[in-house]
Amino acid sequence: MIVEGIPRGPRLAVDVGSVRVGLAASDPDGLIATPVATLPRDNRRPPAGHLSKDIAEIVREAGERRAGCVYVGLPRHLSGAEGASSEAARAYAVGLAQAVAPIPVRLVDERMSTVTAHQALQASGRSGRRHRQVVDQAAAVVILQYALDAERATGRRPGEPVAVEHAAGEDDASGAAGSGDDGGVTRA
């Protein structure tokens, strides 16, 4: 089923954590979300013109899959208020938006996505010890499936768009992606 007004093509979702980043992708029709990888979070500030390893991997996946949109989970408290994790996710989304431009990046509410992911992993028979390796990509699946369902229900992309901000004289760093090194990536 193609949603009128939303171009056909895969979508990606990112669950941003302080240690790991989960990545999920959809089919071209945007029907179902599947896990892609758990990436180690590269918190080092890369040199000018370069991308962190995790963002470079997301850029590579977006390009290879010809993604039409990237959703980034925005963690909020149950009350809807935002905290330090929300601020970190927003900052990550801005950096990602700059790297994947012109692919749009949107922030979507991810309340309870990790809890839902843990429950799904437990129901599938995964031991608690093995959850850590895949819970981030499972949470990204939850985030993406929510976004896909919202697209179908409303005919619009959910969430808030992330503006691409370029500093004066800044080169487009999106071509710096990929070194061919998996660097600790856990694939689905």
Q: Give this prediction's pTM.
A: 0.80
Quote the domain boundaries for residue 128.
11-163
Is 158 within a domain?
yes
Is 152 inside a domain boundary?
Answer: yes
What mean pLDDT, rounded, does the chain reach?
83
Asked whether residue 123 is assigned to any structural domain, the reply reads yes
**181 is a domain residue:** no
Q: What digits encode the pLDDT tens for the residues 79-93? A: 777 788 899 999 999
CB neighbour list of residue 127: distance below 8 Å, 6 or more residues apart: none
Residue 126: C-alpha distances to residues 104, 129, 144, 179 (Å): 34, 8, 21, 32
| Residue 2 in this model has a pLDDT that exceeds 70 | no
Assign residue 48 the CATH number of its domain.
Answer: 3.30.420.140
pLDDT in tens, 46-91: 888 889 999 999 999 999 999 999 999 999 877 777 788 899 999 9
Provide the domain count of the chain: 1
**Residue 175 placed within a domain:** no
CA torsion 95-103-105-176 (nearest 10°) is -20
